Amino acid sequence: MDGGHLKTLILLGALLLSTPLYAAQLNLELGASGRTWQTEELLTHPQVQTITINNDVSYKRDMSYRAVPVAALLTGIKPGDHLQAVALDGFAAEMAAAPLLNAKGSRAWLAIEDPAKPWPALSEGKPSAGPFYLVWTDPQAGNISPEQWPFQVASIKRLAPVAERFPALLPDPALKADDPVNQGFALFQKNCLACHRLNGAGDAQFGPDLNIPFSPTEYFGAQFLKRYIRDPQSLRQWPQAKMPGFEATVLPEGDLDMLVGYLKHMAGRKVQP
């Protein structure tokens, strides 16, 4: 190889190393107003700013991010709409649109990982929460659960509500709307459906089905099931465990009782996928 070709290769290599790679993209499937955003576009969005998240759900410490208000990206979405945030690993968070559109109180932000300034790994041997991470400022004001903090987000979709898409999840229709089992169903959607299916119904690819072949209420004593939901590692310990614990600040005791009540009710309503 002559000197001219070598110099050219060196210059090209230096250029590639000095130029950030903006390969990540976020797909917004919102109907007529959907679009795809590249990392570079989001980092230069007119509303991008640096925000600080106190006690970040995923990193367990204070974090700063370059972020855009989620509401600024949800063109054409109304408070009554239903959305689903899907992560690269199959986590599928079902979310009412109204909290995501808030400009006050609990406010949703899309944090954007800059390839030139990558975020830390979530834990040893794990990737970061990027390229996109849905975070909240003042989450306590809106009773935002940890399952509403999806990381490694790949897409956000407008879909029909869960009850319409997955009738196999529905409790007995003879129950009143305010029956504790129906309240438990609402809690299941908020806290469990992002990782688990039930009766084969749901979009998550992350955790096991919670009714087929058996409901956890069939092989856990009631108190042990509650303990497992509160602190999974207190009953089953293994290094690759992924299920988070649900503290009383996230899932109060009364809510936990209703959630378990829904699971017990659905054990009598098995539908084979």
What is residue 78's predicted lDDT score, i.e. its pLDDT? 95
Which residues contact residue 254 at a Cβ distance below 8 angstroms, ignoring those fewer than 6 apart?
none
Helices 180-191 and 253-267, interaxial angle, to 10°? 100
Considering the entire predicted model, what is its pTM? 0.80
Distance CA 62, CA 198 (A): 35
Which residue in 222, 204, 209 sits closest to 260, CA to CA?
A: 222
Pairing of strands 153-159, 25-29: parallel
15/177: higher pLDDT: 177
Question: How far apart, in whole angstroms, are the C-alpha atoms of residue 259 and residue 196?
Answer: 14
All domains in the chain, ordered by first residue: 21-159 (3.90.420.10), 163-267 (2.60.40.420)
118 Cβ contact list (under 8 Å, min separation 6): 128, 130
pLDDT at 10: 47
Q: How confident is the model at residue 15 (pLDDT cuts 50, 70, 90)?
A: very low
253-267 vs 222-230: helix crossing angle, rounded to 10: 120
pLDDT tens-digit series, residues 107-152: 999 999 999 999 999 988 889 999 999 999 999 898 898 889 999 9
Quote the CA–CA distance of 215 and 190 in Å, as a whole number: 18
Tell me the backbone φ, ψ of residue 221, rounded to 5 degrees: -65, 150
